[in-house]
Chains A and B, each alone.
Chain A
Amino acid sequence: MKKHILILSLTLLAAVFANANNDAYEKAMLKEIKTMGQAGPVEEMQKSANAFARIADMNEGQWLPDYYAALAYANMGFRSQGSLEEKDGYYSQAKKHIEKANALSPNNSEIVAVQGYITMGELAADSNSRGQSLSGVAMQTFGKAIELNRQNPRAIILMAQMEYGMAQFFGQGPEKACGLVDASLGLFAKEAAEAKEGNLNPTWGKRLAEEMKERSCK
């Protein structure tokens, strides 16, 4: 009997620990995702990036912490007012994290979309000399993300931005890009309706679509 109690207690203990661990992960992630959603300048984003990097270290099998760390670094690149070197530094950190995420979860539309987002950032940092070589790569990557999941609104809104840039460059109308914006808005709405409490999966990007709709597709 004693033996049974011991085994039972040990099992319980293990379960408690495992649960605690999982709880801690989810708690930490939820908190940081919220913080990142409100983070403004580069310095605040850096804190989010650091926090996700810490969570990634603690949960080596999870792709989401690295995914968010990459996203934070990419956002830093976009928001930075600093030198090209500084921006490239952020993008190289972003790439490091997204590659880790990609290794953990290959052919993941969300990850591929952020890969494209990073390429887009590198392009924007020095469009004069990088435009020609990177715009094709960015579009290709967003295309792949869409192919992997046609319901991914982030892949679609990012592609819309590239399409819009191309159309402007060649003096064409924004119809195609705006079609994509509308498609993404629909998917964002669907995503919001379906989102459950405690969801850790990516939901960002709606604001991007709304801004673009407001600015370019009226």
Chain B
Amino acid sequence: MKVLFTICLFFLVNLTLAQTMIKGTVKDARGETIPGVNIFLKGTYDGTSSEVNGTFVLETEEKGNFILVFQAMGFKSQEIEIVLDGGEKNFNPVLREAINEMTAVTITAGAMEASDEKRAVVLRPIDIVTVPSAMGDIIGAFQTLPGTANVGNDGRLFVRGGDASETSIFIDGMKVGNAFGTTASNVPTRTRFNPNLFKGSFFSTGGYSAEYGHALSSALVLSTVDAPVRNQADISLLSVGMGYSQTLVGEKNSLTASANFMDLSPYQAMVTQNFDWERAPYGWDAEVSLRQKWGKSGMVKAYAHTESGGMKIWQKVPGTEGRGQLVDLKNHYTFASGSFKQTGKNDWSYYGGISYSNNVDEFTLNQIDIRNQNQIMHAKAVALKGFSDKFSLKTGMESYFFNYEEGLRSEGLVWDFTDLQGNIFTEADYYVSNKLVFRGGLRAGHSVLADQTWIDPRFSLAYKFENEGQLSFAAGKFSQMPVEQLRIAKPEVQNVKADHLILNYFLTKNGRTLRAEAFYKNYNKILTYEGSQYFYRNIQQSGTGYAQGFDVFYRDQKSVKNTDFWVTYSFVDSRRKFAQFTELVQPGFAPRHNASIVVKHFVSKLKSQLGGSFAINDGYTYTDPNFTGQMNAKTEGFRDLSLSWSYLPKPNLIIHFACSNVLGRDNIFGYQFSPQPNEAGQYESLPIRQTAPRFIFLGIFLTLSKDKTANNLNNL
């Protein structure tokens, strides 16, 4: 009885106690009031929210020691110990800003990102596929971005006065060897990889993270799709081939397998070509992509791609009659990679993987059989630790295995080399606030073959202004071993070195993006030589060079209804002593003025997207041996107008039509000269032209899905 009595009393006392009233105003560090703060007594239902003017009143009947909590989006929570004893209490807490991954400043120096998930991006992945001049090649789209040069007789990516080998390509963080198809000289190539494979890309034209090595000018990092949405079959019929892709999606895993076949013969039979083809380019590829979720937040991916193709082309020799020399080329290529990412406890996360590329080229040139094989293996493991929302540290290890063999089979001459490289890198990000971030990194490496050890420091910072614009600065040292064709001729060659300095302004707001960047790049230890491949002589490593300039990019999706356009201008002043040159010259792949415009307009009535892109530069330098000096002449400027029409009659059917060089301009990329002067003492020349006046692309893309939900809906 006594017990019950006590209980009753307890409740009574509790009820009759006076209320405590907690009042105050919540402000941030700058003294501005914060509305919507969640204010409550821990362990009770008692709580309230601050008003628009930051004030709050919390009444409670609790008594004793409690913890008063203040929580608000974008701020660190604050807890205050409090004694409730009736009466009125005043609290005016100042909440400290929390670093917000989504809205905090990001380092944009040198970088152009295409992502659906992040904010400071230049493009969305879908934009890349639909650039009219790209013709479905991912690189074609990057050539409309600042810092790149359009080198139409090569097709690869040339960044800020650098040659194509200076751009390293990674898929899911893993190095891709020979990412571009092998081709005959002056016949442009394409990337081997289907753009639909990727959910995003990170393209840097300099000043990039210490994570990326073996890249002198540029890094292109492609990420494959994590989780396809549904089971589906994709069928493509193109003017140059066809493809089939099947995607199967499970609860925790998915599989995509695809095969493509292309042959330009029927197309070339219909459309005039500038080149003298004996056998038009042909090829097939097959690929498999597997993704498996690993625990709650981890992911394991495996990807394999294999392809084979070839071409036969007659290439004229200046100063001679007839069709010239016949190049017979066959290529076999395999790329395989496995990668993982996982989040651990205490803000640890890990990722890494292994990749293998194997490229075999078989040429017949003037009845000489040539076989070159390039193999690259890359393994990488990275650990990332967030010590607080302000400070994180990334540390990783990498090893590379390079093996290259080249041989003039018919002559019984075979050479090869093998190199092993070990790398470690570490990089720290420190956020002073949501507006200011510093990043410092170090990358060290050792090459067994070159017997060289190096350390490359890198540094960047970014500041975000009130108007959401941000200014970034990046500086660093970058190293890359010379191309394998030269290393094999002189295995002891050392790294080529570059220093980057970059200042970038980036603003994206209301569907408009402005990006302006100034840069200075300094080259050292560039290789110079005499002779040509297989017969290089006198290889020296004393070449130097520089590239400086600026570029501007403006994109607008808002001003004109249903229209998205971007304009790019890049100015590059580059001179270097390289290859056969004995002094600083402007390289043929580095036009000074480059501009492009891309416009896409959606017409609902036609269910169509109409696209146009225009690219222009001021011409390519070349050496005319009829005059003194090196790189003493320049071609007329390059100009290309490409148009495209994508028609979507149904959600699952796209018909895409594109035509390059609509105006039929005869673009010249340089001249080839006869090795000896003719009787008149003149070196005869032949222009290096486009493969054809125009390239016409017609593709029908059909997606078939037995989407269960669709069936469900129809049955409702």
Chain A's closest residue to B710 (CB) is A143
With A43-B52, A50-B36, A50-B38 already in contact, the answer to whether A128 and B126 are too (CB < 8 A) is no
Please report the C-alpha to C-alpha distance between residue A55 and residue B315 in the assembled complex, in whole angstroms: 78
Q: Output the least CB separation between B513 and chain A (Å).
A: 10
Are B3 and A54 neighbours in the complex by a CB distance under 8 Å? no
Are B52 and A28 neighbours in the complex by a CB distance under 8 Å? no
Please report the C-alpha to C-alpha distance between residue A5 and residue B6 in the assembled complex, in whole angstroms: 14
**Chain B contacts for A6, CB-based, 8 A:** 3
Instruction: Verify if B708 is at the interface (C-beta below 8 Å from A).
Output: yes
7 more CB-based (< 8 A) A-B contacts, given A85-B102, A179-B716: A46-B36, A51-B47, A126-B511, A128-B557, A130-B124, A139-B709, A171-B604
With A134-B116, A170-B650 already in contact, the answer to whether A143 and B708 are too (CB < 8 A) is yes
Are B708 and A147 neighbours in the complex by a CB distance under 8 Å? yes
11 A-B pairs (CB sep. < 8 Å): A6-B3, A9-B7, A43-B51, A92-B102, A128-B564, A129-B557, A130-B116, A143-B713, A146-B712, A146-B716, A170-B650
Are B35 and A46 neighbours in the complex by a CB distance under 8 Å? yes
Q: Output the least CB separation between B249 and chain A (Å).
A: 10
Are B102 and A47 neighbours in the complex by a CB distance under 8 Å? no
Q: A144 is contacted by which of B100, B102, B709 (Cβ under 8 Å)?
A: B709
Are B709 and A89 neighbours in the complex by a CB distance under 8 Å? no
CB proximity to B under 8 Å, residues A57-73: 57-58
Instruction: Verify if A93 is at the interface (C-beta below 8 Å from B).
Output: yes
With A6-B3, A54-B47 already in contact, the answer to whether A156 and B716 are too (CB < 8 A) is yes
Please report the C-alpha to C-alpha distance between residue A24 and residue B52 in the assembled complex, in whole angstroms: 28
Q: Output the least CB separation between B292 and chain A (Å).
A: 19
Please report the C-alpha to C-alpha distance between residue A122 and residue B557 in the assembled complex, in whole angstroms: 18
Are B716 and A166 neighbours in the complex by a CB distance under 8 Å? no
**Chain A contacts for B531, CB-based, 8 A:** none
Are B38 and A54 neighbours in the complex by a CB distance under 8 Å? yes
User: Which chain B residues have a beta carbon within 8 Å of chain A's beta carbons?
Assistant: 1, 3-4, 7, 35-38, 40, 42-45, 47-49, 51-52, 71, 73-74, 100, 102-103, 116, 119, 124-126, 229-230, 468, 511, 557, 564, 604-605, 607, 648-651, 707-710, 712-713, 716
**Chain A contacts for B709, CB-based, 8 A:** 139-140, 142-144, 146-147
Instruction: Verify if A136 is at the interface (C-beta below 8 Å from B).
Output: yes
Q: Output the least CB separation between A203 and chain B (Å).
A: 20
Q: Output the least CB separation between B22 and chain A (Å).
A: 15
Instruction: Verify if A180 is at the interface (C-beta below 8 Å from B).
Output: yes
Give the A-B contact count at a CB cut-off of 8 A: 114
Interface centre among A50, A130, A136, A156 (most CB of B within 10 A): A50
Please report the C-alpha to C-alpha distance between residue A137 and residue B49 in the assembled complex, in whole angstroms: 34
Please report the C-alpha to C-alpha distance between residue A90 and residue B72 in the assembled complex, in whole angstroms: 11
Are B103 and A85 neighbours in the complex by a CB distance under 8 Å? yes
Are A89 and B74 neighbours in the complex by a CB distance under 8 Å? yes
- The A contact surface, by secondary structure, is helix
**Chain B contacts for A18, CB-based, 8 A:** none
Q: Output the least CB separation between B18 and chain A (Å).
A: 21
Chain A's closest residue to B41 (CB) is A54
Task: Give the A interface residue count (CB, 8 A).
Answer: 50
Are B103 and A170 neighbours in the complex by a CB distance under 8 Å? no
Are A133 and B124 neighbours in the complex by a CB distance under 8 Å? yes
Q: B45 is contacted by which of A24, A130, A169 (Cβ under 8 Å)?
A: A24
Instruction: Verify if A176 is at the interface (C-beta below 8 Å from B).
Output: yes
With A53-B38, A144-B709 already in contact, the answer to whether A5 and B1 are too (CB < 8 A) is yes
Chain B's closest residue to A182 (CB) is B716
**Chain A contacts for B35, CB-based, 8 A:** 43, 46
**Chain B contacts for A183, CB-based, 8 A:** 716
Are A166 and B651 neighbours in the complex by a CB distance under 8 Å? yes
**Chain A contacts for B43, CB-based, 8 A:** 58
**Chain A contacts for B52, CB-based, 8 A:** 43
Are B716 and A50 neighbours in the complex by a CB distance under 8 Å? no
Beta-carbon contacts of A136-168 to B below 8 Å, as 1s and 0s?
110110111011001000001001000100100
With A147-B709, A150-B716, A170-B648 already in contact, the answer to whether A47 and B124 are too (CB < 8 A) is no
Are B4 and A132 neighbours in the complex by a CB distance under 8 Å? no
Beta-carbon contacts of A168-187 to B below 8 Å, as 1s and 0s?
01110000100110010000
Q: Output the least CB separation between A15 and chain B (Å).
A: 12
Q: Output the least CB separation between A42 and chain B (Å).
A: 8
Q: Output the least CB separation between A53 and chain B (Å).
A: 6
Please report the C-alpha to C-alpha distance between residue A130 and residue B118 in the assembled complex, in whole angstroms: 11
The 4 closest A-B pairs by CB, nearest first: A143-B709, A50-B38, A46-B36, A133-B116
CB proximity to B under 8 Å, residues A175-210: 176, 179-180, 183
**Chain B contacts for A217, CB-based, 8 A:** none
Are A169 and B604 neighbours in the complex by a CB distance under 8 Å? yes
Chain B's closest residue to A145 (CB) is B709
Are B607 and A136 neighbours in the complex by a CB distance under 8 Å? no
Are B47 and A50 neighbours in the complex by a CB distance under 8 Å? yes
Please report the C-alpha to C-alpha distance between residue A50 and residue B564 in the assembled complex, in whole angstroms: 40
Please report the C-alpha to C-alpha distance between residue A217 and residue B604 in the assembled complex, in whole angstroms: 21
Are B713 and A140 neighbours in the complex by a CB distance under 8 Å? no
Please report the C-alpha to C-alpha distance between residue A92 and residue B74 in the assembled complex, in whole angstroms: 11
**Chain A contacts for B71, CB-based, 8 A:** 50, 53
